């Protein structure tokens, strides 16, 4: 078979694969549909260029294959053609860049009504903290973290006392309520990522990073760690349940605040009992078993 034909079949196969692929976006469940649209646009423009370049190449290969007496063009440069191609490419690139930057501007501009959620990551698990009735999260410090104060909340910060603590890797969100995810890590890099929400950002020890999204589809989703964080990276999963307003409020009212946690711990200590921190140590055990 002529190589040009094989190359043609490769390009044709790529296009057919793209059209009929069963593997494509997971259904979106947040406000970031614009990202998907920009990708579709990039597929059209970029894919068009890919197909055009390859077909032109294939045509040349089929048409100009070696003949001893073929007349070959001697034309080292063509200023006009080069100019046209440069400008056409520039326009194409600008057309792709513009929507990308517009959406990025939305991504870094958090809406005022967004609910702040503190997502705390460690090797290898998650836990969450929501603001209490005052609507504000208390400040934290890594060195404050101990069994009595699993989030490292500054004890003298009045905003911290009513914070809602969720010592689990599962969290619930209210549908159509924008959330600002505040990420922090106590050890290494992590990344709180739900494919259906499209958004992600690294959690970096030493600083607080953020991103925002608005979940808009009721359901349960898996959280994945998307930044390599050591041997347990692949197992660092969590969960999100997006609920209707009523269900969410009910769930929220059942959660414990920092004040309540302190009170409970004191009670237990009076009874001379030790507290076992409810971290996800099961996960660690699974991992170390393999060694």
Partner 1 sequence: MSDEYENKTGYQAQSSETISSGSGGGSRTASDIDYVRPAEVTDQDLYHGHSFITKWVFCQDAKVIGVQYFLLATFTGVVGLILSWLMRLQLGFPGAAGFMTAEHYYQFVTMHGMIMVVYFLTALFLGGFGNYLIPLMVGARDMVFPYLNMVSFWSFFVAVGVLLASFFVPGGPTGAGWTLYPPQTILEGTPGSGWGILLMCISLILFVAGFTMGGLNYLITVLQARTRGMTLMRMPLTVWGIFTATVLAMLAFPALLVGALMMTLDNVLGTSFFMPTIIQAGEILEYSGGSPILFQHLFWFFGHPEVYIVALPAFGIVSDLISVHSRKNIFGYRMMVWAIVGIGGLSFFVWAHHMYVSGMNPWFGFFFATTTLIIAIPTAMKVYNWIITLWRGNIRLNVVMLWCLGFIVTFVNGGITGIFLGNVSIDVPLSDTYFVVAHFHMVMGIAPLMVIMGAVYHWFPLVAGRFLNETLGKWHFWLTFLGAYSIYFPMHYLGFIGVPRRYFEMYDSPYMTSAVGMNEFISMAAFIVGAAQFILIFNIIKTLKTGKSAGSNPWKANSLEWLTPSVPPEHGNWGDKLPVVHRWPYDFNVPGAKEDFITQTTPPSDVVGTEVEKT
Beginning with the edge strand found earlier in the chain, give each strand of the sheet holding 115-122 in spatial order: 209-213, 179-185, 115-122, 125-130, 164-166, 256-257
User: Hey, which residues between 96 and 125 contact partner 1 (CB under 8 A)?
Assistant: 96-97, 100-101, 103-105, 107-108, 122-123
- Does position 263 interact with partner 1 (CB under 8 A)? The reply is no
User: CA–CA separation, 264 vs 238, rounded Å?
Assistant: 26
CB contact at 8 A, 187 and 145: no
Stretch that binds partner 1, among 155-163, 166-174, 234-242, 247-255 (CB under 8 A): 234-242
Q: Which residue has the tokens 């694969």?
A: 17
Stretch that binds partner 1, among 53-61, 132-140, 168-176, 252-260 (CB under 8 A): 53-61
- Does position 239 interact with partner 1 (CB under 8 A)? The reply is no
Least distance to partner 1, CB of residue 211, Å: 8
Least distance to partner 1, CB of residue 212, Å: 11
Number of residues that bind partner 1 (CB under 8 A): 101
User: CA–CA separation, 34 vs 29, rounded Å?
Assistant: 12
User: CA–CA separation, 172 vs 95, rounded Å?
Assistant: 38
Stretch that binds partner 1, among 17-25, 126-134, 243-251, 254-262 (CB under 8 A): 17-25
Q: What is the DSSP string of 74-120?
A: --S--HHHHHHHHHHHHHHHHHHHHHHHHHHHHHHS--TTPEEEEEE
Among 173, 182, 229, 240, binds partner 1 (CB under 8 A): 229
How many other β-carbons are positioned within 10 Å of the β-carbon of residue 280? 19
Least distance to partner 1, CB of residue 104, Å: 4
Stretch that binds partner 1, among 5-13, 156-164, 168-176, 260-268 (CB under 8 A): 5-13
| Residue 48 dihedral angles phi and psi, to the nearest 5° | -60, -45
Q: By C-beta, is 201 or 242 nearer to partner 1? A: 201
User: CA–CA separation, 187 vs 152, rounded Å?
Assistant: 13
Burial class (CB in 10 A: 0-12, 13-18, 19+), 203: buried
- Please list, residue by residue across 168-194, b when 16 or more beta carbons sit within 10 angstroms of its beta carbon and e when fewer do: bbebbbbbeebbbbbbbbbebbbbbbb
User: Hey, which residues between 192 and 221 contact partner 1 (CB under 8 A)?
Assistant: 193, 195-196, 198-207, 209, 211
Least distance to partner 1, CB of residue 249, Å: 28
CB contact at 8 A, 171 and 239: yes
Count of residues in the chain:
291
User: Hey, which residues between 56 and 95 contact partner 1 (CB under 8 A)?
Assistant: 56-57, 60-61, 64-67, 70, 72-78, 81-82, 85-86, 89-90, 93
Least distance to partner 1, CB of residue 84, Å: 10
Among 115, 188, 218, 252, binds partner 1 (CB under 8 A): 188
Least distance to partner 1, CB of residue 116, Å: 16
Burial class (CB in 10 A: 0-12, 13-18, 19+), 218: middle
User: Hey, which residues between 163 and 182 contact partner 1 (CB under 8 A)?
Assistant: none
Least distance to partner 1, CB of residue 27, Å: 9
User: Hey, which residues between 19 and 48 contact partner 1 (CB under 8 A)?
Assistant: 21-26, 32, 34-36, 38-39, 42, 46-47
């Amino acid at each position: 078979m002529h190589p040009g034909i094989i190359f043609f079949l490769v390009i044709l196969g790529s296009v057919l694969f793209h059209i009929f692929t069963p593997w494509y976006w997971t259904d979106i469940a947040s406000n970031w549909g614009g990202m998907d649209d920009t990708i579709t646009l990039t597929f059209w423009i970029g894919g068009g260029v890919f197909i055009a370049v390859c077909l032109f190449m294939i045509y040349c290969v089929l048409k100009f294959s070696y003949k001893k007496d073929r007349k070959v063009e001697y034309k080292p440069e063509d200023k006009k053609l080069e100019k046209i191609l440069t400008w056409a490419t520039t326009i194409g690139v600008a057309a792709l860049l513009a929507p990308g930057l517009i959406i990025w501007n939305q991504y870094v501009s958090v809406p005022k009504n967004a609910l702040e959620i503190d997502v705390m990551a460690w090797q290898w698990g998650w836990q969450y903290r929501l603001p209490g009735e005052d609507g504000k999260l208390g400040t934290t410090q890594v060195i404050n973290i101990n069994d009595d104060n699993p989030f490292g909340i500054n004890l003298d910060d009045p905003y911290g006392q009513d914070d809602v603590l969720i010592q689990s890797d599962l969290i619930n969100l209210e549908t159509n309520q924008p959330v600002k995810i505040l990420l922090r890590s106590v050890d290494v890099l992590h990344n709180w990522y739900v494919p259906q929400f499209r958004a992600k950002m690294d959690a970096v020890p030493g600083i607080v990073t953020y991103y925002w999204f608005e979940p808009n589809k009721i359901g349960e989703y898996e959280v994945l760690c998307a930044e390599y964080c050591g041997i347990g990276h692949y197992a660092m999963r969590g969960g999100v349940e997006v609920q209707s307003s009523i269900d969410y409020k009910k769930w929220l009212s059942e959660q414990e605040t920092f004040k309540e946690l302190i009170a409970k711990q004191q009670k237990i200590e009076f009874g001379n009992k030790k507290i076992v921190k409810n971290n996800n140590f099961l996960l660690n055990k699974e991992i170390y078993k393999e060694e």
